[in-house]
Amino acid sequence: MPPKIISMSQTASMPAAITQTDFNFPNQKSVYHGKVRDVYNIDDRYLVMVASDRISAFDVILPRPIPHKGQVLNQVATKFLKACIDICPNWFIESPDPQVAIGKNCEPIKIEMVIRGYLSGHAWRVYKSGKRELCGVTLPEGLKESDPLPQPIITPATKADEGHDEDISKEEILNRGIVTAKEWETLERYTRDLFKRGTEMAAERGLILVDTKYEFGKHNGMICLIDEIHTPDSSRYFYAEGYAERQARSEKQKQLSKEFVREWLIANNFQGLEGQVTPELTDAFVETISSRYIELYETLMGKKFQPASYENVMQRIENNVTTALKKLP
C-alpha cells in the first residue's frame, strides 16, 4: 500500500492530514500501525515513530484525521522527554522531522502507568457510578468532579494490542508476573517523579497537570520510559486561573486535553462499545479539535505553533529519516 494523505475537505480552508504511512527505510524489518503512530523497526536496534494525524478515543480510531495533530504530539513529547532525562532513562535519540522521533528499540512492559492528581475523566465516571475503589486504590467519600485527590494515585491499565485497555491493580500485576516486585518499585518511583516534574512544568505555564499515563520498556535489561509523555493524548490539563472559583460553583473546569472529544462522543451515544456506530466528525468539529491541540502546544511550549507544510510531506519525512539513520552507529 502506498503512503496516503487524505484531504480533510474539498475546500481550501481545511488542510490535508496524514492518515497512514507505509515507508521502506534502510534496514527496516517491520512496521506496526498503532492507534496514532506508525512504528518502524530498524534492524531490531532502533524505532522510527511517525506521529500520524489519526485520533483515537475509547480505544477506537476515529474516521477522520486531525490536521497538525501529529506534529503537536511529536514536538510536545520531544520537549518533555528531553526535560525528564535526569529522572529516568528513556528511548528517545532525536527528532529529525516535525512528525518523527527516532529512539532505541525497547521491549515494552505491557502495562500503562496511569497517575491521577484529581478526580476527573475515567476516575470520575467510576466514582459517579458509586464505586469507591479504582485499581485497588480506595477513594475517599465526599468528592466531586475535578476535586484534588489527597495525594496522586497510580491506577494502572493493561496495554492491549487490540481492543480495550483494562484497569488492573498492583496486586494483579504482581500475581500475573507482568513485572517483579522490584521492577514495580522502579516503575512507581519513576511514575511519581515524572508526574511531579510534569506538574511543575505545567504550573510554570499556568496549567494544572490533572492526570497522565506513562509507558515503559526494557533496553539491555534497564527500565526505560518509552512512547510519548505529557501530550494532550496522554494527559489532561486544567487552566490554573479560575480553577478554585469554578470548583466552588461546581462548574466544569476549563481544560486542555482530549477529554472534550470523549465527552462529544458520549453525547453522541458512542463509548466504543460493541454495536455502537462512530458518529460522523463534521468539518467544524475537526477544525475545533485541531485548534485545541494547537492551543495546548502554544500554552505548554510558550511559543507560537509553526505548522509544517503538508506539501510533499511523505518525501520530506522519508528524506529526513533516511539521513538521520545513516548517522546512527
User: What tens digit of pLDDT does each residue of 201-227 get?
Assistant: 999 999 999 999 999 999 999 999 999
| Residue 245 to residue 154: CA distance in whole angstroms | 27
In this structure, what are the phi and psi dihedrals at residue 10, rounded to the nearest 5 degrees?
A: -80, -10
C-alpha cell at 277: 456506530
| Residue 156 to residue 289: CA distance in whole angstroms | 27
- pLDDT value of residue 8: 30
Residue positions counted in the chain: 329
* pLDDT < 70 positions in the chain: 1-15, 160-164
For residue range 285-325, list pLDDT tens digits in order: 999 999 999 999 999 999 999 999 999 999 999 999 999 99
Among 213, 2, 20, 42, smallest CA distance to 99 is for: 20
The residues that bridge with 209 in the sheet, in sequence order, are 237
Domains of the chain from N-terminus onward: 4-327 (3.30.470.20)
With a threshold of 0.75, does the pTM exceed it?
Answer: yes
Q: How many alpha carbons fall within 13 Å on the CB side of residue 278?
A: 16
Contact 261, 236 (CB under 8 A): no
Among 205, 236, 224, 215, smallest CA distance to 116 is for: 236
C-alpha pair distances (Å), 66 with each of 11, 52, 54, 290: 15, 9, 6, 6
Contact 213, 114 (CB under 8 A): yes
- pLDDT value of residue 163: 55
C-alpha cell at 86: 535526569
Q: How many alpha carbons fall within 13 Å on the CB side of residue 261?
A: 32
